[in-house]
Chain A
Amino acid sequence: MNFKTLLVAMAVAIPMLITGCSNTPKGSGGTGTVTITTVPPASLEVNQSATIAATASGGLTAGGIDWSCTPIGTCGTFDPTSTASGGTTVYTAPRTAGAVSIVAASATTPTITKSVSVNITAVATATNITGSYTFFANGVDLNGVAYSVAGSIVINGAMGTVTSGEQDYFDLTSPTIFASDPITTGSITVGSDGRGTLSLTPTSAPAETFSITVVNNDHILITEFDSGATASGSLDLQTAPTSVPTGGNAFALLDTAGADAFGGVLTSNGTISTASEADDDLSGSPDFDFTMAAAFTAPDVNGRGTITFTDPNFGLFTVAYYVVGPEAFRLIEFDGVGFAVGSMYGQGTGTFSASSLSTKFVFGESGIEDGVSGIGVYSAAGQFQGNGTSALTSGVADVNLGDGTPVLAGSLTTGTTYFANADGYAGLAFTGATTDGLMNFGVYLIDPAINVADPNNSSGGGGAVMLDLDTDNIGVGIVPPQGTSPTFTGNFAYSMDGVFETATTFAYYGLVGEVTSDGTSKVAGLADYNELNTAQTPAVTLAGTYTADATNAGRSTMQLTINGAASPNNLTLYQASSSLVLHVDVDSTGVGLGTIGLGTFEQQQ
């Protein structure tokens, strides 16, 4: 080695020895070290955020820190991307699971860095979606007429297959009702954010493709995502396929084709009803508090049985029920007499009274209307609390009849009366003055241990199923209880379906996806959007801002931009709990007749 070579070697080696191996300046800027002082958690769920910080020492301090991560493009984001030494940034994990390296680099000498690894975890995996599941989806077909399917399937999540099943299906464009139709094959995929696809191939009915979003391993939101129909519902773990509705049960059914609704409570001995109180609305003629008899057949191996109802005002009709669990059943009519669909829930062993409605509740409902009120469909959502006897102490509702003038936070208290009987048969009567003419809700109370939105969920139980029983509106919905001071933070499955009409176009639509809420004012995410007659568009962007209603705690308003549209959708949110938010679309004439839509945010767990 000559002298010149020795000098060069020393020039390289000495700085390395001074600064150590990992944080040594390699040729430019100042010297010093970078230290991550607030480290992210070792694992973080997709889309979730963590506040992190780093300091730069010595001659690097003034320049601050630049944040980056690997693998580039799929490792998440930082806000801001540069911080002063010691300053904080918010790291947001990507939508896909996997190992990520977060890098804090000296802005002065970018080669001086400090890294930390974070394992990004999925909210769901297909492997965990395994076993027998019951599903339903209700909506309209390509020609705008009623379409519904309900059934049960056996899923092998690890293999991504559906191995068997059974379903009932009607589509009024088709002359055939496909009852008790075996499902032969199918497939399921689930992404790290819980979004995925479910495809089913029945023996006789046309194949169905659903977009799905996992709420938890037992509860998945679904919407049909093919050109044949748009229909929304859920897929729930089937826990007891041999169950027959027994004891007290509450039910609600809507037939959009026949323009009929049926609901009430009944006591069953497993074969027939032994007591009941029911309501119906037959094409705008409501009937209240009559006896509706029911006869049950035991379920088959897939958890499908039948219920024959006898409504003295209507006659006989028969629905198939698909068991979710001992106290939850999905109903679909298959006799051609009508086309009713809905749910039945157990009521537990307790009794009810007017005080059962003295706590807070939210509700969401949608249905059909006469030709005079609006474009033919409507939706509404709200919240209320009873005084324990017969009046409401608080309550507001948002109602959109599709007439261009939705009701926003209409009062539910003035002149409103309610009752609840020992069997759980209840009702609310409004004046209609502040609810766009909605006057009568049939409310059918369920077991306080059953979650009406997610029947296998051990928390969030109670509430009711409901009917809207009016001359101009006929609807069906749910009434979950409203918790105290819920939060709206984290990853949520999101659903919405309905119809929109602008100055240039209209369509039935459905979408399901995943959004992340920051807990204060923003949501963002992706959804599969089926705009029937137009296109099925996967992974459209959802970006929303929301503001709490200072007057009505639990109510918020949101502007939600779907797929970058020029005009956002105006939603009103009613929060049941930190896990469940109901929303109704209340677009005004600013965009034609606007959008009629109802849906949920359900926290992914």
Chain B
Amino acid sequence: MRKVAGVLSLLMALAISLLAGPLYANESQAVKRTVAPSKYDVTKEVTLEGTIQSLVRKPAPGTIMGAHLMVSTGHGTVDAHIGNYFVVGKYAMPFASGESVKLVGIMATINHQSVFLVRTLQTGNSTITVRSDHGFLIYPGAKTHLASISSTGGAR
């Protein structure tokens, strides 16, 4: 059924495109649309491995909003920000104390406090995407397109 729905969606998209008639995209005047380099720099990502100490649903004031994981690593406890989408709702995960995790992300300083911004989180055999490559928290069910994000962005 899922397959059928997928095919139907594809056909619908095709039909809409065909029916769309004459189009006048790209007629804008020559205005340079410069896209700044992302402050979230994937080239500076590091991987941390450790065990979950605790899940902090309501973090201390002054820290970045959303849920944090306190993770014990070989270099001490790391405050890892994961946002709320894997803590409440359809995609909530248990995040049990003592559970092993592998985190990929970058260290950042928000309001004079260090925080590890998690982009992907691996527990057991599953890896979840917490952030986009540009550092935005993303709701897991809504991002099936992420793998095929357009390459048309950038300087024009």
Q: Which A residues are within 8 Å of any B CB, using their own CB?
A: 143-146, 172-175, 255, 257-260, 272-278, 280, 282-291, 293-295, 308, 310, 312-316, 336-339, 354, 368-377, 390, 403-404, 417-419, 421-423, 425, 427, 429, 432, 437, 439-440, 470-472, 474, 499, 501-506, 533, 592-593
Contact = CB atoms under 8 A, between A and B. Distances in A.
A440 to B, nearest CB: 6
B145 A293 contact: no
B62 to A, nearest CB: 6
A373 B27 CA distance: 33
Interface stretch (B45-53, B69-77, B83-91): B83-91
Contacts of A316: 9, 12-13
B64 A375 contact: yes
A371 B108 contact: yes
A289 B135 contact: no
Contacts of A471: 35-39, 134
Interface size class of B (residues with CB under 8 A): 35 or more
Interface stretch (B94-102, B120-128, B136-144): B136-144
B90 A291 contact: no
B61 A506 contact: yes
Contacts of A312: 150
B65 A144 contact: yes
A173 B90 CA distance: 7
Interface in B100-156: 106, 108, 110-111, 115, 117, 131-139, 141-146, 149-150, 152-153, 156
14 contacts: A172-B88, A258-B142, A274-B20, A275-B20, A283-B149, A284-B40, A288-B152, A291-B25, A310-B17, A313-B150, A375-B110, A423-B24, A471-B38, A506-B61
Determine which residue in A145, A173, A371 has the highest number of CB atoms from chain B within 10 A of its CB, and name it.
A371
Most buried by A among B23, B136, B153: B136
Nearest to B88: A143
B140 to A, nearest CB: 9
A121 B20 CA distance: 54
B145 to A, nearest CB: 5
A277 B24 contact: yes
A423 B19 CA distance: 20
A314 B17 CA distance: 14
A257 B139 contact: yes
A542 B29 CA distance: 47
A370 B134 contact: yes
Contacts of A273: 20
A259 B136 contact: yes
A415 B149 CA distance: 30
B136 A283 contact: yes
Given A291-B25, A310-B13, 11 more contacts: A283-B138, A288-B152, A293-B19, A316-B9, A354-B29, A368-B136, A372-B108, A376-B137, A404-B111, A501-B65, A504-B61
B149 A285 contact: yes
A398 B111 CA distance: 20
B61 A370 contact: no
Contacts of B81: 371
Contact of A310 (B16, B88, B137): B16
B138 A172 contact: no
Contacts of B3: none
A437 B137 contact: no
Contacts of A593: 62, 111
Nearest to A373: B39
A295 B16 contact: yes
B43 interface: no
A135 to B, nearest CB: 24
A287 B66 contact: no
B2 interface: no
Given A259-B137, A337-B142, A429-B32, A291 B84 contact: no
A290 B38 contact: no
B21 A274 contact: yes
B31 interface: yes
A421 B27 contact: yes
Contacts of A272: 16, 19-21
A501 B61 contact: yes
B20 A291 contact: yes
A69 to B, nearest CB: 46
Given A145-B89, A275-B22, A371-B135, A592 B62 contact: yes
Contact of A503 (B36, B39, B40, B61): B61
A294 B134 CA distance: 28
A422 B87 CA distance: 47
B39 A172 contact: no
Contact of B139 (A258, A285, A291, A470): A258
Nearest to A440: B33
B88 A289 contact: no
A277 B25 contact: yes
A293 B111 CA distance: 43
B36 A417 contact: no
Contacts of B146: 283
A315 to B, nearest CB: 5
Nearest to B156: A288
B37 to A, nearest CB: 7
A592 B23 CA distance: 50
Contacts of B132: 259, 283-285
Contacts of A336: 141-142
Contacts of A288: 33, 152-153, 156
Nearest to B138: A259
A472 B23 contact: no
B35 A418 contact: no
A255 B31 contact: no
A502 B20 CA distance: 51
Contact of B144 (A277, A337, A373): A337
Q: Which 10 A-B pairs have the closest CB atoms?
A: A284-B134, A370-B135, A313-B150, A283-B132, A259-B136, A258-B142, A257-B139, A372-B39, A143-B88, A371-B117
B31 A418 contact: yes
A374 B110 contact: yes
B31 A274 contact: no
Contacts of B85: 145, 172, 257
A278 B110 CA distance: 34
A62 to B, nearest CB: 60
Given A277-B24, A372-B135, A375-B110, A592 B61 contact: yes
Contacts of B84: 143-145
B88 A173 contact: yes
Nearest to A502: B61
A154 B117 CA distance: 47
A418 B133 CA distance: 28
Contact of A371 (B9, B26, B36, B137): B137
A505 B144 CA distance: 35
A147 B33 CA distance: 32
A503 B136 contact: no
A287 B150 contact: yes
